[in-house]
Amino acid sequence: MNLPLLSFLTWLPILGGIAVMLVGDRRASAARWLALGVAIAAFLACIPLYSGFDVTSAALQFPERMAWIPSLHSDYHLGVDGISLPLILLTTFSTVLVIIAGWTVIEKRPSQYYAAFLIMEGLMIGVFSAADALLFYVFWEAMLIPMFLIIGVWGGARRIYATIKFFLYTFLGSVFMLAALIYMYLKSGSYDLAALYALPLSSAEQTAIFLAFFAAFAVKVPMVPVHTWLPDAHVEAPTGGSVILAAIMLKMGGYGFLRFSLPITPDAAHDLDMLVIGLSLGAVVYIGLIALVQTDMKKLIAYSSIAHMGFVTLGAFIGYEIVSATGSHDGVVLGLSGAMVQMISHGLVSGALFLCVGVLYDRLHTRDIGAYGGVINTMPVFGAFMVLFAMANSGLPGTSGFVGEFMVVLAAFKANFWYAFLAATTLILGAAYTLWLVKRVIFGAVANEGVASLKDLNGREFLVLGVLAVAVLAMGLYPKPLTDVMEPSLRHLAQLMSVSKL
Amino acid sequence: MMQNVYLAIPLAPLIAAILAGLFGRVIGRTGAHTVTILGVAVAFGLSVWTLLGQLEPGAVPYNASVYTWLVTDGLRMEVGFLIDHLTALMMCVVTFVSLMVHIYTIGYMHDDPGYQRFFSYISLFTFAMLMLVMSNNFLQLFFGWEAVGVVSYLLIGFWFTRPTAIFANMKAFLVNRVGDFGFLLGIAAIAHYTGSLDYATVFRAAPSIAQHTMSLFEGQPWNAMTVVCICLFIGAMGKSAQVPLHVWLPDSMEGPTPISALIHAATMVTAGIFMVARMSPLFELSDAALGFVMVIGATTALFMGFLGIVNNDIKRVVAYSTLSQLGYMTVALGASAYAAGIFHLMTHAFFKALLFLGAGSVIIAMHHEQDMRRMGGLRKYLPITYWTSLLGALALIGFPGFSGFFSKDALIESVALSHAPGAGYALFCVTAGVFITALYTFRMIFMTFHGEERMDAHTREHLHESPWVVTVPLILLAIPSVVIGWFTVGPVLFGGYFDGAIVVNPAHDVLREIGREYEGQGGFILNAFRSLPVYLALAGVASAWLLYLKFPHVPASIRAKLGPVYRVLDNKYWFDWFNENVLAAGARGLGRIFWRVGDEMIIDGALVNGSARSVGWLAAVTRHMQSGYLYHYAFAMIIGLAAMLAWLLTHAA
């Protein structure tokens, strides 16, 4: 039996999104239920994907392949491995939550709102399952359109500035990637990822290709100094947009590094690893300090996202420094799994925090920290959730936020004491900006009439935050199922990283 | 079977905490305290059973994993238990004090609207603390380590509408995080050198760590073990409030008194001491680290004691006393007298919890007045509180025969025999500290319970002894505070109780030297009269009597004469000032500069929007070329033609 499960996962939400749009705003309730049904169906379709996945193999599984653009030798080629599977699960999981979270909040063109998220979901799954570089690129760029609209249509006051900044920033980066892919196609005659992995490239070629990829992925992650689109985009995006942006879209960058940069240009990645490591550590410290002084809740969480994503890029590239420091490959996979775990965890935790801000924003229509204070007096249940997610964001053991950071710090130590030292400052900085936020917003006496009038979570909000809380704790207490899925693929990746292509 | 019992010990309080926390409204106040007390009682009963099992002849330590947390890259991370003499002792201390505090809380928090929440937190704390002490690996140790920190955070900020409380809890968490930062690096170093996080594996590999060197700074090699131990000890400095990471503990008194007794005196703050003792196979391999431990501990022991003398808040005096006593325990660790450190930890847990709960009883009677200047003469209104507190105070100052006497005396003797770097300084600090301890302790007793009644008439009318749920725990804690030393000093310190659990390099083994001359408790007491500390303690009590009962106007004039000294103490050596105005303000200032200048001006202003602007500018400029006038184009063509001709003419030749 070989059902086209990945095609189903990719196209069901896209077609479902079109159907939701056709139902229209006049029948908003029907559109909502249809959207929810599609999102849940996609999530349920992940069950056979997970249960049928062979955790002992690094090979691409559930493969589908047919000719797509024969003149360019590009195939419609899909497949998942241990790197993409968790990200696909995260995508379908987050989409369901986002649809529920927007249930009564979105009044402007609701059917189009849900359609945008569903189409977005399909495209993101396409990105994670594409095994052909051109197909990947098409999904990658197409993904920008729904997000451009989500921010531009349902966003806040400065949404036009934010969405154009977002689009241009990320589009500019991606163009370089396209150039690199075309160059490699001309050399190898194929867009197939396996062929690109096997393609020998000179040092100069690798460096140019690496930098082209770097432009695309670093913007997406985002890495310092190409991160400034993110705070603007988050601040202006509607809650659901922020959640998807933080939970999935940022992961595209990390995924790109693991899927393209490291295996295709291993020697250049080795030569230029200090660039990535330096910028990652910079993100932890520089961005951590910036997050400390933010007065807008969403901006604070956006900066916190950048700092946390620093661990992803650090974990991905630390392997080269480990090998040169110790002469052994022990720790390379540890760093890679740390990076992966951090991506998944960040998806849950930052998504949850943006939802928390959304809960407050829906009630008082401000994101200004100064407008709150003593929220726990009127919203005790919400306060408990917020404290839990804040602790997860501070990397508390027992929550998912700890696992990835712990692994990356352990790996970084193998390379150099000071890398681990700088990375571990997140323990202090992360706790400082997160708990200071909690202190000012959640704790204290009731600050004003607005806070006094707050109503605690309704059933829908409780459901969404409750599910995330369970996920955050489950992953913190028992991460083994997740790391087991990734392990063989990451071992394979570590091997590709270490074989020179010169 | 054994595993299920050991699993039940932390899980019973955890389940109780979940029930009281999530279903507090359903089960009500009585339900909440019943279920949590039951949970902790089960944990205590099973802990005693565990200890008795460990004491049986031929009993072996239990070491097994419960489940595998994750495996990657050959590194196996597990959750599991190591039960040996050290663990069993800690489990009994933790669960006993916790049980007493649970019962006491029924009285203390009687009128508080957050009753269920409070019980849920203290039960959750008991779970976290048990996970910490029972762990057989560094991962779970770190989990427990941070989990107790979080519960402490929640409990210090229990009265979350008070600005001081929510400042104190954030401060406590962040200062602890500074410690945890070091701790994490220590764990990372261990994982790097041994490829494992399991205690047994790491300890077996310890000698190989000591053979590595690390060059942290160009050209200065450090012994890897020294780095490991100092990093781990930085964690202990946070949790066990050693200078300069002590600043959070006095502020933690913003929390309700029962948790000051449980968390900030008896259990959590001793986690650092426990951890270093647990890591003795590592610390024994680095003399430099031991010296560092000793000097930090000695400084804390003496200089935090001074602060107890100038404070008027009854709880803060006890808090500074806790800091100082934690310093004593740390000194013992530095002297390789781990058993003496743990022994003092145990006796201190009883008498300090007693003193805190006694202070709490006074605070209830005084209607939440904590200033000792408005107390006095409470002895006759609160007889049980007075007598139990007095016993606790005698134990604290090391009155011969009381529990604190045995532990402190052994500790000081160990330091005297130690050859670790800094031992001389440490001996001075701990010896002088004895006088200081007696002075502030009896200053507190005299100001609170004796002398003139300084409270207002209204308070005086309502003074009465606390209910039985408060006094019974006082009595139950007073008993071990007095006698536990007498019964356990022999076996614990000199009888090889910790053999196998604690490893001491024979060259460092000061306790063995003391033990050679040990001939029972009586001899130990007599021997003490031949040395200085006992007399210093008595002198301290006498000074307190003279200064605060006999001539109560003298302290004011001393304060006036010693103005500068008093200012140093009153400002607590300016640690808080430095942290708030230099470190915290500096971080915020740096953040603001990075944000406004780095992100907004340079990246966004100059590069991002700058490039947008320059595209716009370029377009505006090129637009002028496309003017649409024919003569402009004709003129441009002529110029171009002329230029081409000129080029051809010059190059053709």
The Cα–Cα gap between B260 and B267 comes to 10
The pLDDT, as a whole number, for residue A340 is: 96
What percentage of chain B exceeds 90 in pLDDT? 64
The Cα–Cα gap between A444 and B103 comes to 29
The Cα–Cα gap between A47 and A3 comes to 14
The pLDDT, as a whole number, for residue A2 is: 65
Residues 6+ apart with CB under 8 A from B360: B104, B108, B257, B258, B260, B261, B470
- As beta bridge partners, residue B420 has none
Residues of chain A contacting residue B170, judged by C-beta atoms under 8 Å apart:
435-436, 439
Angle between helices B423-449 and B403-417 (to 10 degrees): 160
Contact call for B150 and A406, based on CB within 8 A: no
Cβ atoms of A48 and A5 within 8 Å: the answer is yes
Q: Looking at the partner chain, which of A418, A427, A442 has a beta carbon nearest the beta carbon of B177?
A: A427
Report angle CA A115, A119, A123 to the nearest 5 degrees.
Answer: 170
What confidence category does residue B77 fall into, taking pLDDT thresholds of 50, 70 and 90? very high
Residue from A293, A437, A440, A441 whose CB has the most chain B CBs within 10 Å, to mutate: A293
Assess B217–A contact: CB distance below 8 Å, yes or no. Answer: no
Structure tokens at B424: 């001389």
The pLDDT, as a whole number, for residue A1 is: 45
Using CB atoms and an 8 Å cut-off, which of residues 54-83 of chain B contact chain A? Answer: 67-75
CA atoms within 13 A on the CB side of A284: 26
What confidence category does residue B627 fall into, taking pLDDT thresholds of 50, 70 and 90? confident
Residue by residue, what is the 3-state secondary structure of A252-292? HHHHHHHHHHHHHCHHHHHHCHHHHHHHHHHHHHHHHHHHH
* Maximal C-alpha separation, chain B: 122
The Cα–Cα gap between B148 and A338 comes to 25
Residues of chain B contacting residue A225, judged by C-beta atoms under 8 Å apart:
603, 607
- Note the pLDDT tens digit of each residue in B368-420: 889 999 998 899 899 999 999 999 999 999 999 899 999 999 999 999 999 88
The pLDDT, as a whole number, for residue A419 is: 95
- Spans of chain A below 50 pLDDT: 1
Question: Is the pLDDT confidence value at B595 over 50?
Answer: yes
Contact call for B214 and A417, based on CB within 8 A: yes
The pLDDT, as a whole number, for residue A147 is: 92
The pLDDT, as a whole number, for residue B619 is: 84
Helix (H) or strand (E) holding B113: none
- Note the pLDDT tens digit of each residue in B318-335: 999 999 999 999 999 999
Cβ atoms of B533 and B409 within 8 Å: the answer is yes
Structure tokens at B627: 């003017």
Residues 6+ apart with CB under 8 A from B258: B101, B104, B105, B108, B109, B118, B122, B357, B360
Residues of chain B contacting residue A487, judged by C-beta atoms under 8 Å apart:
71-72
CB neighbours of residue A266 within 10 Å: 23
Structure tokens at B445: 């007793």
Assess B180–A contact: CB distance below 8 Å, yes or no. Answer: yes
Helix (H) or strand (E) holding B213: strand B213-217
- Note the pLDDT tens digit of each residue in B473-482: 999 999 999 9
Would residue A201 be called left, alpha or beta, if left means φ above 0 and alpha means ψ between -120 and 50 degrees?
beta
Higher pLDDT among residues B77 and B57, named by residue = B77
What confidence category does residue B225 fall into, taking pLDDT thresholds of 50, 70 and 90? very high
Residues of chain B contacting residue A289, judged by C-beta atoms under 8 Å apart:
587, 590-591, 594
Of B273, B182, B270, B195, give the one whose Cα is nearest residue B229. Answer: B182
Comparing A113-122, B225-234, B284-293, B553-562, the range with the smallest average pLDDT is B553-562
Residue carrying structure tokens 């605060």? B548
Of B440, B449, B442, give the one whose Cα is nearest residue B362. Answer: B449
- As beta bridge partners, residue B214 has B222
The pLDDT, as a whole number, for residue B228 is: 94
Comparing B197-206, B432-441, B492-501, the range with the smallest average pLDDT is B492-501
* DSSP per-residue string spanning A103-148: TTT--SSHHHHHHHHHHHHHHHHHHHHB-BHHHHHHHHHHTHHHHH
Using CB atoms and an 8 Å cut-off, which of residues 425-454 of chain A contact chain B? Answer: 425, 427-429, 431-432, 435-436, 439, 442-446
Q: Looking at the partner chain, which of B69, B139, B157 has a beta carbon nearest the beta carbon of A480?
A: B69
Q: Give the distance from CA A410 to its chain's centroid.
A: 23
Of B230, B206, B233, B199, give the one whose Cα is nearest residue B77. Answer: B199
Cβ atoms of B416 and B294 within 8 Å: the answer is no
Assess B221–A contact: CB distance below 8 Å, yes or no. Answer: no
Assess B559–A contact: CB distance below 8 Å, yes or no. Answer: no
What confidence category does residue B568 fall into, taking pLDDT thresholds of 50, 70 and 90? confident
The CA R_g of chain B, rounded to the nearest whole Å, is 31
- As beta bridge partners, residue B222 has B214
* DSSP per-residue string spanning B128-161: HHHHHHHBSBHHHHHHHHHHHHHHHHHHHTSSTT
What confidence category does residue B515 fall into, taking pLDDT thresholds of 50, 70 and 90? confident
Structure tokens at A454: 């707050």
Residues 6+ apart with CB under 8 A from B106: B33, B469
Question: Is the pLDDT confidence value at B558 over 80?
Answer: yes
Averaged pLDDT of chain B: 91
The Cα–Cα gap between B286 and B96 comes to 35
Contact call for B608 and A337, based on CB within 8 A: no
The Cα–Cα gap between A306 and A280 comes to 9
Of A256, A266, A265, give the one whose Cα is nearest residue A215. Answer: A256
Using CB atoms and an 8 Å cut-off, which of residues 253-272 of chain A contact chain B? Answer: none
Q: Where are the beta strands (DSSP E) in B46-86?
A: 62-72, 75-83
Of B406, B96, B145, give the one whose Cα is nearest residue B276. Answer: B145
The Cα–Cα gap between A231 and A291 comes to 10
Of B343, B378, B377, give the one whose Cα is nearest residue B364. Answer: B378
Helix (H) or strand (E) holding B114: none
State mean pLDDT over B618-624. Answer: 82
